[in-house]
Amino acid sequence: MPNPTPTLNIISPKLFPDKVWNESEVLGAITWLWYQSPVHRQVDIAEMMAYVLPVLKNGQFALFSLGVQPIGYISWAYFDEVAEVHYLQSDRYLRNNSDWNCGDNIWIIQWFAPLGHSHQMRYCCPKCDYRTWLYHYPHFGGTAGFEQRLTDANRFSRLPEKH
């Protein structure tokens, strides 16, 4: 008898506020995911916590699992124009929890699928209209970032420069 396909589970306090979740389990899953990435594995635990704990406290994340196996997560912030400028200069701006909810512009802070499951994450959540969300990539790796808007399910496109 073939094994059944595991169920895709989503834990997201902002998207599914009635679903019970455990902060310790989510932290463990996100930590495990970080250590699947060669780049993120280099980050020490204190630095990782500085990125992850505000996400958990604000509930602005979606953790995706196939059965009990974590496959990825996304986190987002609601910025005003001032917060956008600060964030584009440095992601350290997000260390203050109040900075996550200061405006109406939705920014994807992390889209993290180190095992290659971005496709499932993108299509499985009907409450997420990613086409209207902004994304800044990357802060890790020392490369200069740039703004992008998810314009359809298959690609990113560069935003026009603001004058």
Q: How far apart are CA 72 and CA 49, in angstroms?
A: 17
Q: Answer yes or no: are the C-beta atoms of 41 and 51 closer than 8 Å.
A: no
pTM: 0.74
Q: Two tokens at 31?
A: 């930590």
Tell whether 46 is covered by a domain: yes
Tell whether 163 is covered by a domain: no
Rounded CA Rg of the chain: 16
- pLDDT value at position 28? 96
Report the half-sphere exposure of 13 (CA within 13 A, side-chain side): 14
Tell whether 1 is covered by a domain: no
Q: How far apart are CA 100 and CA 128, in angstroms?
A: 18
- pLDDT value at position 25? 96
Number of domains in the chain: 1
- pLDDT value at position 125? 59
Q: Catalytic residue positions? A: 40
For the segment 72-86, the average pLDDT, to the nearest whole number, is 87
Task: Name the residue range of residue 40's domain.
Answer: 8-158
Tell whether 2 is covered by a domain: no
- pLDDT value at position 162? 34
Q: Which residue has the tokens 């599914």?
A: 16
Give the domain CATH number at 114: 3.40.630
Tell whether 23 is covered by a domain: yes
| Interval 10-48: pLDDT, tens | 999 988 899 999 999 999 999 999 999 888 889 899 988
Of 16-20, 94-98, 123-127, 130-134, the least confident: 130-134
- pLDDT value at position 145? 39
Q: Is the pLDDT of residue 114 over 80?
A: yes
Tell whether 91 is covered by a domain: yes
Tell whether 97 is covered by a domain: yes
Contacts of 89 (CB under 8 A, 6+ apart): none
Tell whether 120 is covered by a domain: yes
